[in-house]
């Protein structure tokens, strides 16, 4: 039976530590605030934004959600970001993705000053991660690494296989695991014989976006399996990992819901606090 990497427990422990850091900031008269920009009315984004607001409230972080209509012009979005860049009450700025299709996501993210880029998506922060310098690390990859370390999963010298090569999960998580001295394989939609790769993995990270895609026969006995996927099936949220068949084979496994998603929000809080502390 696998050890559960329980995002609820791990994030609650971290949130308790974070609360003390917020208190210390406030005692020192340093503002800590998160501004979230939400463009349009994507229902999943509304839920994510609400959860981010709740986490801020729990820690005593000031949070502000700026809602813009779906037909917002690029110039107006960028003007808002610039205003927030200059607002001393705001330590972190987050643009909820995806943006409506007419907007240039990369250009918007570049407008956020790197110091306030608490999502870690700015090209400068991504570049720092890829060149081994200290910058803001994207929340989901950071949360995955924290989850593995806090669960006692050995990393150095181990085979890590990441499925998915997005800029927000797959690539940065591969880089973090490389920095931990894993031997990393990055798989994607054009990978041939995926199972031959996954069966070698001591650490397997699934960030694909396909419900129950990873099955028990694809997993090495004793592996640590991290499920990043959030898929809606018949009104229920399921991951990329078929928990029922993988759990008996794996050494560690993260559930969905209650796994990586919880860690992601917790790391967003941490990045916001770190941004306030750096000022
Ligand atoms: P994405 O769509 O940008 O990337 C998916 C990746 O999967 C691509 O790189 C693609 O090459 C790969 N892929 C697709 N089909 C494949 C196949 N048959 N074999 C191998 N690889 C294949 O998605 P993303 O933004 O990286 O997100 C991935 C999943 O993680 C989604 O379900 C998303 O909702 C979820 N997610 C969760 C969190 C969280 O906090 N838990 C955060 C971000 C994303």
Q: Is residue 18 part of a domain?
A: no
Residue 256 Cα, ligand 1 centroid: separation in angstroms? 14
What is the spatial distance between Cα 220 and Cα 223, in angstroms, rounded to a whole number?
Answer: 6
Q: How many CA atoms lie within 13 A of 159 on its CB side?
A: 13
Same domain? 148 vs 211: yes
Based on the structure, what is the number of domains in the chain?
A: 2
Q: Are 208 and 229 in contact (CB under 8 A)?
A: yes
Same domain? 47 vs 145: no
Q: Is residue 129 part of a domain?
A: no
Q: Is residue 15 part of a domain?
A: no
Same domain? 110 vs 145: no
What is the spatial distance between Cα 247 and Cα 208, in angstroms, rounded to a whole number?
Answer: 19
Same domain? 80 vs 150: no
- pLDDT the model gives residue 65: 97
Task: Tell me the sheet residues that pair with 233.
Answer: 236
What is the spatial distance between Cα 252 and Cα 10, in angstroms, rounded to a whole number?
Answer: 14
Residue 277 Cα, ligand 1 centroid: separation in angstroms? 32
- Look up 96 and say whether it is catalytic: yes
Same domain? 172 vs 89: no
Q: Is residue 272 part of a domain?
A: no
Residue 122 Cα, ligand 1 centroid: separation in angstroms? 20
Same domain? 145 vs 234: yes
Q: Is residue 24 part of a domain?
A: no
Residue 228 Cα, ligand 1 centroid: separation in angstroms? 8
Last residue of a domain, one of 81, 115, 149: 115
pLDDT by 10s per residue, the chain, length 279: 899 999 999 999 999 999 999 999 999 999 999 999 999 999 999 999 999 999 999 999 999 999 999 999 999 999 999 999 999 999 999 999 999 999 999 999 999 999 999 999 999 999 999 999 999 999 999 999 999 999 999 999 999 999 999 999 999 999 999 999 999 999 999 999 999 999 999 999 999 999 999 999 999 999 999 999 999 999 999 999 999 999 999 999 999 999 999 999 999 999 999 999 998
Q: What is the CATH number of the domain that holds 95?
A: 3.40.50.10860
Q: What is the CATH number of the domain that holds 214?
A: 3.40.50.720
Same domain? 167 vs 82: no
Q: Which two tokens stand for residue 167?
A: 């800029």
Whole-prediction pTM:
0.97
Same domain? 100 vs 164: no
Instruction: Name the residue of 5, 105, 230, 263 whose CB sits within 8 Å of the most ligand 1 atoms, as the mutation to test its pocket.
Output: 230
Same domain? 102 vs 209: no
Q: Which residues line ligand 1 (CB under 6 A)?
A: 140, 163-166, 168-170, 187-189, 191, 194, 207-209, 228-231, 260-261, 264
Instruction: Name the residue of 207, 237, 256 whose CB sits within 8 Å of the most ligand 1 atoms, as the mutation to test its pocket.
Output: 207
Residue with the smallest CA separation from ligand 1 atom 15 is 189
Range of the domain at 90: 29-115
Instruction: Name the residue of 208, 231, 264 whose CB sits within 8 Å of the most ligand 1 atoms, as the mutation to test its pocket.
Output: 208
Same domain? 106 vs 143: no
What is the spatial distance between Cα 58 and Cα 56, in angstroms, rounded to a whole number?
Answer: 5
- pLDDT the model gives residue 1: 87
Same domain? 150 vs 202: yes
Q: Is residue 43 part of a domain?
A: yes
Residue with the smallest CA separation from ligand 1 atom 39 is 261
Task: Please report the sign of the dihedral spanned by the C-alpha atoms of residue 33, residue 256, residue 207, residue 37.
Answer: negative
Residue 267 Cα, ligand 1 centroid: separation in angstroms? 19
Q: Which atom of ligand 1 is nearest to the CA of 209?
A: 32
Name the catalytic one among 111, 117, 119, 171.
Answer: 119
- Look up 17 and say whether it is catalytic: no
- Look up 133 and say whether it is catalytic: no
Same domain? 147 vs 250: yes
Q: Is residue 268 part of a domain?
A: no
Q: Is residue 125 part of a domain?
A: no
- pLDDT the model gives residue 263: 98
Residue with the smallest CA separation from ligand 1 atom 17 is 189
């Amino acid at each position: 039976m696998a050890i559960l990497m329980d995002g609820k427990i791990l994030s609650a422990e971290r949130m308790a530590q974070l609360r003390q850091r917020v208190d210390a900031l406030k005692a020192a008269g340093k503002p800590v605030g998160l501004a979230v920009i939400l463009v349009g009315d994507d229902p999943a984004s509304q839920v994510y934004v609400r959860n981010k607001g709740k986490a801020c409230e729990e820690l005593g972080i000031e949070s502000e959600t700026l809602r813009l209509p779906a037909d917002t012009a690029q110039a107006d979005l960028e003007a808002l970001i610039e205003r927030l860049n200059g607002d001393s009450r705001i330590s972190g700025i987050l643009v909820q993705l995806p943006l409506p299709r007419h907007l240039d996501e990369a250009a918007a993210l570049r407008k956020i000053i790197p110091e306030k880029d608490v999502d870690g998506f700015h090209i400068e922060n991504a570049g720092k991660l890829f060149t081994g310098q200290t910058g803001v690390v994207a929340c989901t990859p950071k949360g995955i690494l924290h989850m593995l370390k806090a669960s006692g999963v050995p990393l150095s010298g181990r085979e890590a296989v990441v499925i998915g090569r997005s800029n927000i999960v797959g690539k940065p998580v591969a880089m973090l695991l490389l920095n931990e001295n894993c031997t990393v394989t990055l798989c994607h939609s054009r990978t041939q014989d995926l199972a031959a790769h996954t069966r070698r993995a001591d650490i397997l990270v699934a960030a694909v976006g396909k419900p129950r895609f990873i099955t028990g026969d694809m997993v090495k006995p004793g592996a640590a399996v991290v499920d990043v996927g959030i898929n809606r099936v018949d009104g229920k949220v399921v991951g990329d990992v078929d928990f029922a068949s993988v759990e008996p084979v794996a050494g560690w496994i993260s559930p969905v819901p209650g796994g990586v998603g919880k860690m992601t929000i917790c790391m967003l809080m941490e990045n916001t606090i770190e941004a306030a502390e750096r000022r």
